[in-house]
Structure 1
Amino acid sequence: MTETIHPTTESANRYLRDNFAPVREELTATDLTVTGRLPDHLDGRYLRIGPNPLDDPGDQHHWFLGEGMVHGVRIRDGHAEWYRNRWVRSAAVADSLGEPHRGTPGERDFAANTNVLEHHGRTLALVEAGAPPYELTHDLDTVGPCDFGGTLPSIPGRPGYAAHPHRDPGTGELHALSYNWTAGNRVAYSVLGNDGRIRRSVDVEVHGSPMMHDFALTERHVVILDLPVTFDIATATEDVPRLVRPLVRGLLNRVIGRNPLPEPVIARIARGGDAVSLPYRWNPDYPARIGIMPRDGDSASVRWFEIAPCYVFHTLNAYDDGDTVVVDVIRHPTMFATVLNGPNEGPAVLTRFTLDLRTGQARETGIDQRSQEFPRHDERLTGRRHRYGWAVGFEDGAPGDTLLRHDLDTGSTESRRLGAGLEASEFCFVPNPDGTAEDDGVLMGYVHDRAEGRSQLRVLDAATLDDVATVHLPGRVPAGFHGNWAPEGADLADV
């Protein structure tokens, strides 16, 4: 018999209770119980990451700011060989655990908590807004910060790296769009080659200092989302001593959105104290627009398209269609305007933007009006025309038990309820290597069982949403962010 593990319900902050609550133990379990049959061709690890505060951050905690914890399941020959969960050992996490530092952490050190993927034989934990990635071992232990062989500068005034790169399926290279509040009105488009080094980096000017969680890639273009969630000076300077706060805010007002911040100001704010608020807010005066830049272009070559105010955390995919660019996104009406500790300001819906490069006009079309997030597609079609997409249904700003399968050709959506008391997280698509259809494969994702207090790795048929297999885990995987399938021995150019 296994013990039932129930998360805390005591905190007033929804992002510290129920399945948002952190887990306190690192577990290793082998020979996991499987219901159903795991496909024989699955040989690799399913990895997912999310915030997992090491210490009590208090009721003002923002969900995005917890230290990262990676959860992984190793699958081979129809068996689930192990489950592991591990904190990413930033300097602060290592200090709290009484362990030596891993590698050489810099000033922008943070326990990456937003995405985890495999590239060039490295397992990388990623976070946005300037902090460097962390490299992990195959077994999810921390190696240390990764600067891509010295090609990723980690200095004030540079955007750093991104949490949401997209892989070109033709080359295997990772394309990213990075932002950081120290960089003023500049974001950086970069290409990470299959030698593990950044081979191209281009600064792009935007209106001010926006939060850019995601972007999109087509075969010919980079799609830039310049939207009205921007760096908020008042929030960023809450921990600056009251006597000098007006001076610091006045200085920031003169440089934010125009120039990189002076290094002494950056250093002072970075050391300001124990702030738990994300320094980004909805800015109704900031124009909403989408930029289209040729892949080999620069800031001067960006075509900007004005759209109605909204915010986008995630794109589903994008592609070129003659003289238009088609971008499918999850559209939020606002973000961090009234709810300041997490994304919960109205339904987030699947929306298509069609951008006409001849006329300069943007057309917005609603595709599915159910609240949803974490859209995924067959990533062999990244930047190419896609037919299918999958997403998780949300209820009151939190993941529910529904998975959605969108057919973009017919405009229809199928849904699957996993069951009462279950809570889904992001599901990623893993293709059948012998399949020919776009949706011939499986979906993989963690599902929390509230009654049992434990989680499962669920494997579903991507075409029908029927059950294929369930891997039963020894503990709970809290609500988190992004996950990916990391196949063993993959040809880097074909991943």
Structure 2
Amino acid sequence: STAVSKALGEAPAPGPRQRSDTVNTNVLGHAGKTWALVEAGGYPVELDDELQTVAHNPFEGSLKGSFTAHPHLDTATGELHAICYDATDPNTIRHVVVGVDGRVRREEPIAVKHGPSIHDCMITPQYVIVLDLPVTFSMPALVAGYTFPYRWNPAHRARVGLLRKDAPGSSILWCAVDPCYVFHPCNAFENADGTVTLDVVAHATMFDGGYNGPSAEASAFERWTIDPATQKVARKVIDATAQEFPRPDERRLGQPYRWAYTAGLQREGGPDGPFVADQRLYRHDLETGERAVHDFGPRHHVGEFVFVPRTPGGAEDDGWLMGYVVDA
């Protein structure tokens, strides 16, 4: 960002910028380049191999609005799919597809209300899955000076959308779900009966009365069954232990899979304190329901771990989990 460059005594990086140019949530590779990403704000930032800023780069000028922190790779096509939102347009979100050449080939509007905060999405062979949940833009929070002015909104109807990947946004099929909030889905896949399975970490509320999250309610790892026929979502708890950052073997994205990996959460400062990173890492066997635990020990806090396969064509779960652990 301009502020960081100034603090370091460096010239601002080249390239066009949005009103907010802080890009600090995710890093990924696509089309031969490394990108830093953030939602609802700055354009992507191109990085070099040492993670130094090259330029603010809206995919070679092809991105017209904000992007997301969490696009997902369609392994069949090599394209990135993203659901993007912007506080300046509370009535619209966008399905953005970035082609294998690193340029946006689709930027399809989808009508919404209240300006929902949509941190992540998920894809299957047919669909992009949209999580329109009750955390929405808050004018009082903006006036109060919060840089992320989104709060829990019980008046906003919770729903999950199924949009065929190349269909118009107006054709999205909305399915009702009990109110909750999801930062991160793990994976999704289509079933023979026409339903779609979506695994998520769900929070009962988020940013309810404050800007820190998770809120007082614990999170759970859940399996959702989205039924297009009834336009409803059934929720089943896989593991009620507080946890976050679910990840699959990315080679299985959008397909039936067996193994999921999550990071534990714990309360800081007592039973009413906020949730912070725990010392435990979990592996879920989604076929047997068993859970394995790796405990890093007291005063250790795990971050988001990713699965790295031993070989490109190796079996699911044959590999390593890689991530950061803070020794506090």
TM-score by length of 2: 0.94
- Residue identity (%): 43
State the Cα distance separating 1:122 from its structure 2 match. 1.0
Aligned to 2:92: 186
Q: Is 2:29 aligned against 1:151?
A: no
Q: Name the SS of the counterpart of 1:182 in structure 2.
A: coil
Question: Which amino acid letter does the alignment assign opposite residue 198 of structure 2?
Answer: V
Structure 1 residues 294, 410: closer, same or farther in 2, change over 3 A? same
Asked whether the equivalents of residues 390 and 405 of structure 1 are also in contact (C-alpha less than 8 Å), the reply is: yes
Q: Name the SS of the counterpart of 1:183 in structure 2.
A: coil
Asked whether the equivalents of residues 18 and 41 of structure 2 are also in contact (C-alpha less than 8 Å), the reply is: no
Q: Which has the larger radius of gyration?
A: 1
Asked whether the equivalents of residues 91 and 109 of structure 1 are also in contact (C-alpha less than 8 Å), the reply is: no
Q: Is 2:301 aligned against 1:423?
A: yes
Aligned pair partner of 1:172 in 66, 78, 82:
78
Q: Show the 5 A alignment for 1:339-488.
A: 339-396=210-267, 397-433=275-311, 436-450=314-328
User: Can you list the C-alpha shifts for 1:459-492, whole angstroms capped at 9, x where unaligned?
Assistant: xxxxxxxxxxxxxxxxxxxxxxxxxxxxxxxxxx
State the Cα distance separating 1:96 from its structure 2 match. 2.2
In 1, the alpha carbon distance for the partners of 2:312 and 2:20 equals 43
Aligned pair partner of 1:211 in 99, 110, 117:
117
Deviation larger for 97-106 or 178-187: 97-106
Aligned pair partner of 1:236 in 142, 145, 155:
142
Question: Which amino acid letter does the alignment assign opposite residue 256 of structure 2?
Answer: R
Indicate the structure with greater helix content.
Answer: 1
Q: Which has the higher contact order (CA 8 A, sep 6+)?
A: 1
In 2, the alpha carbon distance for the partners of 1:344 and 1:199 equals 38
Aligned to 2:169: 299
In 1, the alpha carbon distance for the partners of 2:168 and 2:184 equals 23
TM-score by length of 1: 0.63
Aligned pair partner of 1:163 in 69, 94, 98:
69
Asked whether the equivalents of residues 332 and 345 of structure 1 are also in contact (C-alpha less than 8 Å), the reply is: no
In 1, the alpha carbon distance for the partners of 2:130 and 2:196 equals 12
Q: Is 2:195 aligned against 1:284?
A: no
State the Cα distance separating 1:276 from its structure 2 match. 4.0
State the Cα RMSD in Å: 1.4
Gaps of 5+ in 1: 1-89, 239-274, 451-495
Q: Is 2:51 aligned against 1:140?
A: yes
Asked whether the equivalents of residues 278 and 341 of structure 1 are also in contact (C-alpha less than 8 Å), the reply is: no
Asked whether the equivalents of residues 339 and 345 of structure 1 are also in contact (C-alpha less than 8 Å), the reply is: no
Asked whether the equivalents of residues 129 and 180 of structure 1 are also in contact (C-alpha less than 8 Å), the reply is: yes
State the Cα distance separating 1:105 from its structure 2 match. 4.2
Moved >4 Å (runs of 4+): none
Question: Which amino acid letter does the alignment assign opposite residue 291 of structure 1?
Answer: G
Structure 1 residues 440, 122: closer, same or farther in 2, change over 3 A? same
Asked whether the equivalents of residues 313 and 330 of structure 1 are also in contact (C-alpha less than 8 Å), the reply is: yes
Gaps of 5+ in 2: 268-274
In 1, the alpha carbon distance for the partners of 2:73 and 2:212 equals 31
State the Cα distance separating 1:435 from its structure 2 match. 5.3
Aligned to 2:3: 92
Q: Name the SS of the counterpart of 2:254 in structure 1.
A: coil
Q: Is 2:25 aligned against 1:114?
A: yes
